[in-house]
Amino acid sequence: MERMQRFLAQLKNHVGCLQPPAELVTLEGMLCQDMQEDLAKALPLNAAILESQLYLHLLDNVKVVLLCPFVLVYQEKLQAAC
């Protein structure tokens, strides 16, 4: 959970930026990989990514692209997952 808090804090600190720093993208990828087995724990991470102004850049990470749709399906948001 420490990683999650660090990611959320860094994401909040980069509001208004045009592109996220590499460290933020790396941390995001590690979190997504860690949470693949427990989608319920990934809900706050998924929401933060998709609600961020940087979401298009954050979705460049393959680990995020793999996790986000699964979380949306888990939430029964099938249209959004597609």
> From the centroid of its chain, how far is CA 29?
8
What is the model's pTM? 0.83
Low-confidence ranges of the chain (pLDDT < 50): none
Over the range 23-51, which residues count as b (16 or more CB within 10 Å of their CB) and which as e? ebbebbbebbebbeeebeebeebbebbee
H runs (alpha helix) in 1-82: 2-13, 22-34, 39-51, 55-58, 62-74, 78-81
Q: What pLDDT is stored for residue 42 in this prediction?
A: 92
Q: What pLDDT is stored for residue 15 in this prediction?
A: 84
| Whole-angstrom distance, CA of residue 58 vs CA of residue 66 | 12
